[in-house]
Amino acid sequence: MEEKDNELTLAFNESINTENIVDLGQDIGDVTIDLISKSSVVDTVPVLGLLNGVYKVYKSVSAGRLMKKLYLYLFETQKYSDKQIENFIQEYASEGNDNGAEMLLDLINRLDNSNKIHILCNLIGSRVKNEISIKDFMRLLSCLERLPITDVDFLDCFQNENNINGVNDSLLSAGLIYESTIKVGKSPLFHLNYTGYQMLKYGLGKTSIVIPKDYPKSIPGFITAKAVDERLTIIDGGEF
């Protein structure tokens, strides 16, 4: 199993800068596993050829889904130069203290919906253009994994305080909104946090979004252990 994983990683590494990614002649969102599998060019891209063989021989759904996600990734990142992608992979590896190609391949495999690949590629582009820091990029990747694809379009609704049953919980769990207003006897309201604004602007491509200049990067209302200790000290001193 480990040997197969290494083979896949090596094939992916060889494919990162390939120019043999074919446009299948339709909306990228309509691309299917079978359409990719039947393309004559796919077998010339090492990682896609490897997965295509597994998909055809074993009828493996997981291999087919990964092949589709990798096709979308390779297709969308063709706009960047070899040097830009190389620098990005090196930086990603350094920040994660691991093999960059392995990390990226593992991330693509873990993303639960192929539509998230577009968001991933937007985030990579924003890092390549130095619009976000590598730490912001890593943080946004973590949020992307936890964000249900069904709730992506609701993110925009929280530029203003809002409360949407069900969506509140998922976006809160993804780390993209915070509980901004709490009133006794009334439903709480939620608002984008700093990372939520970044996801909207750089991940979802809402380039016209202006992140408030002085927007706090720490979540308002979040109390640290240090703050609790300081508050208790004040109480003990009779000043609270």
The tally of domains found in the chain comes to 2
Better-scored residue on pLDDT, 224 or 191:
191
Q: Could you tell me the pLDDT band of residue 221, with boundaries at 50, 70 and 90? A: very low
Mean pLDDT of 11-33: 78
90 lies in the same domain as 169: no
* pTM for the model: 0.85
Q: Could you tell me the pLDDT band of residue 217, with boundaries at 50, 70 and 90? A: low
- Kindly report, residue by residue over 78-112, the tens digit of the pLDDT: 889 989 999 999 999 999 999 999 999 999 999 99
Q: What is the pLDDT of residue 233?
A: 53
Mean pLDDT of 127-155: 96
Q: What is the pLDDT of residue 202?
A: 97
Q: Could you tell me the pLDDT band of residue 183, with boundaries at 50, 70 and 90? A: confident
Q: What is the mean pLDDT of the chain?
A: 86
Mean pLDDT of 62-67: 94
Mean pLDDT of 138-142: 96
107 lies in the same domain as 178: no
Classified as helix, coil or strand, 1 is coil
pLDDT tops 90 at residue 2: no
pLDDT above 70 covers what percent of the chain? 85
28 lies in the same domain as 124: yes
218 lies in the same domain as 232: yes
Better-scored residue on pLDDT, 89 or 41:
89
Better-scored residue on pLDDT, 72 or 240:
72
153 lies in the same domain as 136: no
39 lies in the same domain as 140: yes
Query: What is the Cβ-side half-sphere exposure of residue 45, based on CA atoms within 13 angstroms?
Result: 27
Core vs surface per residue 183-217: b (16+ CB within 10 A) or e: eeeeeebbbbbbbbbbbbbbbbeeeeeeeeeeeee
Q: What is the pLDDT of residue 216?
A: 66
137 lies in the same domain as 23: yes
138 lies in the same domain as 206: no
What range does the domain containing 22 cover?
2-145
Boundary residue ending a domain (90, 124, 145): 145
Tell me the C-alpha distance between 175 and 28, whole Å.
29
92 lies in the same domain as 139: yes
Q: Could you tell me the pLDDT band of residue 27, with boundaries at 50, 70 and 90? A: low
pLDDT tops 80 at residue 122: yes
Segments in the chain forming alpha helices (H): 2-15, 33-37, 46-58, 61-76, 82-96, 100-110, 116-128, 134-146, 167-173, 194-198, 225-236
Boundary residue ending a domain (145, 163, 196): 145
Q: Are strands 189-192 and 177-181 parallel, antiparallel or unpaired?
A: antiparallel
Across 41-55, 106-120, 203-217, the highest mean pLDDT is recorded for 106-120
Torsion of CA 197, 202, 208, 211, to 10 degrees: 30
pLDDT tops 90 at residue 213: no
Boundary residue ending a domain (145, 176, 194): 145
Q: What is the pLDDT of residue 118?
A: 95
141 lies in the same domain as 164: no
127 lies in the same domain as 204: no
pLDDT tops 70 at residue 66: yes
134 lies in the same domain as 158: no
Tell me the C-alpha distance between 156 and 140, whole Å.
16
Tell me the C-alpha distance between 154 and 217, whole Å.
21
